[in-house]
Copies of this chain bind each other. A is one copy, B any other.
Amino acid sequence: MNENKKQTPLSALGEFGLIRRLTEKIELKNNSSEKGVGDDAAVLSFPDKKIVVTTDLLTEGIHFNLMYVPLKHLGYKAVVVNLSDVYAMNAQPRQITVSIAVSSKFSLEAIEELYSGIHMACEKYGIDLVGGDTTTSMTGLVISITAIGEADAEAIAYRSGAQVNDLVCVSGDLGGAYMGLQLLERENEVFKVNPKEQPQLEGYDYILERQLKPEARKDVIELLNELGVKPTSMIDISDGLSSEILHLCEESQVGCNIYEDKIPMDTQTKLFAQELNINPIVAALNGGEDYELLFTVPLADHDKIKKEFDFTIIGHITEKGNGANLITGSGAAISLQAQGWNPLLKN
């Protein structure tokens, strides 16, 4: 698509020139960002707050395929997945550092496209890009992002706080990102066989957006705060519902019953799963990359949660001895398994 655009080799700028180019327009927005890019380290200030720190490492060919993921979307998503971890602590992200390693196949214009997505996410979520590293890789693209956030001490929601009888809730709907990936991979296979074939993506805009441009649930944190609900435990759904609920149960030393027919899924997710002969529930349980929030609240908060369109109560916390179960439509209890996205098992 970019055949006619100018492509500047990175060697024309060098490391410092590239860093200058990518960071020259940054204006720090947060009071906590005292010094951003341009020294040995960024300087931050959070008087009277707790600080949360999370980091992700994304590698080409494992976490993304540049055949069908536009660089701008990739930059945006790389930020969002980190912010999601900060929100999952019931905290507010304030800063990120972005490190990239690129091979010589990337032009300046390609890297600027990646950074335009990064900057767009920073703008949308009110985050400052305060540092990073820009270097070379022998092969593909590597992106490493660290996000820093703040929270009042009493607000922080750990994975370990779920109590017996708490309600298990999720925001939004699940399985869409996974089905979006299946769609992109299918069309990529078609393209490889016949490059002139137009991809068949019509009618699937929702699941495509779930895969290519997910959002972090800043609004969920704000809504919970407005409702006066403090989750007893919380985690973001990056590896599929099964894997995440098992983390909550393990860290909280409890069990749970999750009701299959309560798990929220979009119509497009279900339709495309049927088209591929995939059970949609499998996409929700094991698909991953939805970046919704899974949280538990005391039973006393039932009415506050119930009336919110975007929250779904999918089950409840039990004694540990009960185990972590999926209760099917017919009432059978199936032990949940962590079959989430596990890159190391792919080797």
- Chain A residues proximal to chain B, CB less than 8 Å: 9-11, 13-16, 18, 34-35, 38-48, 50-63, 85-86, 88-89, 91, 95, 97, 99-101, 103-104, 130-140, 142, 144, 146-149, 153, 156, 158-160, 234-236, 251, 338, 342-347
Contacts and interface: CB of A to CB of B under 8 A. Distances in A.
A86 B40 CA distance: 7
Contacts of A133: 55-57, 144
Contacts of A47: 47-48
A295 to B, nearest CB: 11
A153 B47 CA distance: 12
A91 B41 contact: yes
Contacts of A103: 347
Contacts of A42: 52-54
A34 B50 contact: yes
A111 to B, nearest CB: 10
A18 B345 CA distance: 11
A135 B89 contact: no
B57 A146 contact: no
Nearest to A106: B347
A69 to B, nearest CB: 15
25 contacts: A9-B347, A10-B347, A11-B344, A11-B347, A15-B342, A15-B343, A15-B344, A18-B344, A40-B88, A41-B52, A41-B85, A41-B149, A44-B50, A53-B97, A53-B131, A57-B99, A57-B101, A57-B142, A61-B137, A63-B135, A101-B142, A136-B346, A139-B139, A144-B144, A146-B146
Contacts of A344: 10-11, 13-15, 18, 134-136
A116 to B, nearest CB: 20
A102 B139 CA distance: 14
A11 to B, nearest CB: 5
A56 to B, nearest CB: 5
Contacts of A59: 101, 135-138, 142
B138 A60 contact: yes
A13 B42 CA distance: 36
B62 A137 contact: yes
A288 to B, nearest CB: 12
Nearest to A85: B40
